Structure 1
Amino acid sequence: MGSVSEARFHYVDVPSVTDGLRHATSGTTLTAILRTSDDVRVEARYEPRRTSASSASFADAADTAIVLAHGFTGSVDRPAVRRAAAVFARHAAVVTFSFRGHGRSGGRSTVGDREVLDLAAAVAWARSLGHGRVVTVGFSMGGSVVLRHAALFRSDQEPDARTAADTDGHAAAHTDAVASVSAPARWYYRGTAPMRRLHWVVTRPVGRLVGRYGFGTRIHHEDWDPVPLSPAEAVPLIAPTPLLVVHGDRDPYFPLDHPRMLAAAGPCELWVEPGMGHAENAADEELLGRIGDWLVRA
């Protein structure tokens, strides 16, 4: 699996109907096929904000779009993703998408490496719709992706060698705030039974067949080369962009040393949620509402 340094970022290709915030005010839901900088087609959906008592008083709410990055084996149509999007839409417009190798997107999953390009395309699409403020939230694999994306696509500096991005595309793809939920802090973790099963799915030919036909996820067969920046290494590069780290104290995949390692790596706000399990499937409506509120206010 190649790292993000191998690709150049450019503006995404979107349907000609995407002509700004007219869609947010008219209440229209949009679908699009985005093209990443390495020419992968990514399915995406835009939903306007549903004005509510909790969000109507914030001046930034109408200008904000929340881009949601799902976990491994998820997709734009999975019930947990749709539930999270519905809660976030009470606070701001929402863009959901399927990572490469998931849902109706093209390509094959690199399990968090080149997925930063998928997220960059979705963020740039949200800006092309007229939103001046775009924020990101990711769950599990998506949580690691939003951290690396925030570190690699910065608005306050020129692109470095790790992104090799052109200046205009780089600026369009940056995030204004980031929330990472149930994310690992380091790669190759096998300390829990669920993670050992996941590594079997990803690294073994039979496991990848299970991923394809059992979970609808097409996984790349090549190892990472080079190994991408880890989530913990990404955190200190994110500031001054506001960062929220959320983790359940009953997460069966990643124990609490992962969020604590992320929090120790750089400036962030850490929420350890009592009784919560893993990722979007375990995030209840109350927690999702708090995350949405934080993203709008950050």
Structure 2
Amino acid sequence: MSTRPAGDVARPTVGPHSETRRNAPLRTFLRTSDGVTIDSVYEPGAAVYDASRPPSGDLAFVVAHGFTGDVDRPHVRRVAEAFARYGAVVTFSFRGHGASGGRSTVGDREVLDLAAAVAWARELGHARVVTVGFSMGGSVVLRHAALYGPGREEPAQTHPAAVVSVSAPARWYYRGTAPMRRLHWLVTRPEGRLVGRYGLRTRIHHRDWDPVPLSPVEAVPRIAPTPLLIVHGDRDGYFPVDHPLMLAAAAGDHGELWLEPGMGHAEHAAAEELLARIGDWAAAQGG
């Protein structure tokens, strides 16, 4: 179940959106290039919600949540609300999560879900689309930017203008912390997948990766010249600081690293002040 980017860009399952509809929140199911339906929400941004911080009309954030999240989880909605002060926001549930179709491949074919969401943001008129991923979503935005970027064969509407990866792993199969050992049990054991389905609203694919997808640290050097920001907490209970340091080293002069004092893991640990700084960084990037 390895990712094979396709030239055919996924489209929403609803009809074309007019400019008047762009000014109101939208919810629809996108269809990925491999046929999976992805529950997705578009919110127009601060022109509606916060007149004190006018957004850039061409800027949109596409938020890629962590494993077991979905578009309706409070921590995902909180992130969306923070970024809506800077531009439009697209949130979605990865395959196997929430109301989306399919089963989770824990970061492999999820790249196709993100590509569909980026294409939707561009279809709605946003020239600058910044992908922001957390944990599993952080690894997905890195791999997506490596596979869908300037000079790649994939259509330009799937390319991100900038990439922010928060609390991402650098390498696959990491089991060095207790939370990651529990996660591997959840993914690899039949009883774990039952807990995921009925306890966490996450349907996990039973097959192993074949072939193993490009790892985040292998993806990072391929992202240039797309602007890249790596964010990680120095108290992350899942992935210790050697992970962001590996990613930053792979990025070299091209990437920027923020190692956040006292921060834990992913969306739950991202303070409002940090989300505001990420929003400022994204708004400063060119198209």
TM-score category, normalised to shorter length: over 0.9
Pairing of 1:176-191 with structure 2 (within 5 A): 176-191=161-176
Please give the residue correspondences for 1:133-282 in structure 2 after superposition, counting only pairs within 5 Å: 133-154=128-149, 156-159=150-153, 165=154, 170-266=155-251, 267-282=254-269
**Distance in 1 of aligned mates of 2:166 and 2:5:** 27
Cα deviation, 1:202-242, whole Å, max 9, x if unaligned, reads 00001000111110100000000000000000100001100
Cα distance in 1 for residues equivalent to 2:10 and 2:37? 13
Q: Distance in 1 between matches of 2:255 and 2:51?
A: 28
Once the two structures are superposed, what CA deviation does each residue of 1:114-154 show, in whole Å capped at 9, x if it has no partner?
00000000000001111111110000000000000001001
Aligned-residue identity in percent: 68
What residue number does 2:17 align with? 18
Tell me the residue number matched to 1:91: 86
| 1:14–1:293 distance in 2 versus 1, CA, 3 Å | farther
Tell whether the 8 Å contact from 1:8 to 1:38 is kept in structure 2 after alignment: no
Distance 2:250 2:132 in 1: 19
Report deviation, 1:8.
4.9
Report the CA distance shift for 1:9/1:112 in structure 2 as closer, same or farther (over 3 A).
farther
C-alpha deviation, 1:158, in angstroms: 3.7
On the 8 A contact 1:9/1:36 being kept in 2, the answer is no
Within 5 Å, which residues of 2 pair with 1:125-140? Answer: 125-140=120-135
2:4 is paired with a residue whose SS is helix
TM-score by length of 1: 0.91
Q: TM-score, normalised by structure 2?
A: 0.94
Question: What secondary structure does 2:131 align onto?
Answer: strand
Corresponding position of 1:286 = 273
8 Å contact from structure 1 (residues 123, 134) kept in 2: yes
1:45 partner letter: V
Q: CA deviation at 1:3?
A: 1.2
1:42 matched to 2:38: yes
Structure 2 unmatched runs, 5+: none
Structure 1 distance, partners of 2:136, 2:65, is 7
* Cα RMSD (Å): 1.4
How far did 1:14 drift? 3.8
The one-letter code matched in structure 2 to 1:273 is E
Question: Alpha-carbon deviation of 1:7?
Answer: 4.9
Q: Residues 16-53 of structure 1, C-alpha deviation per residue, up to 9 Å, x if partnerless? A: 25234x444x3x10001000000000000000111447
Matches of 2:21 and 2:126, distance apart in 1:
11
SS of the residue corresponding to residue 62 of structure 1 reads coil
**In the aligned structure 1, how far is the partner of 2:101 from the partner of 2:17?**
22
Give the number of the structure with larger relative contact order, counting CA–CA contacts within 8 Å between residues 6 or more apart.
Answer: 1
Q: 1-side partners of 2:43 and 2:148: how far apart?
A: 24
Q: Distance in 2 between matches of 1:240 and 1:204?
A: 40
Query: Any idea what SS the aligned residue of 2:175 has?
Result: coil
Whether the aligned pair in 1 keeps the contact of 2:135 and 2:168 (CA below 8 Å) is yes
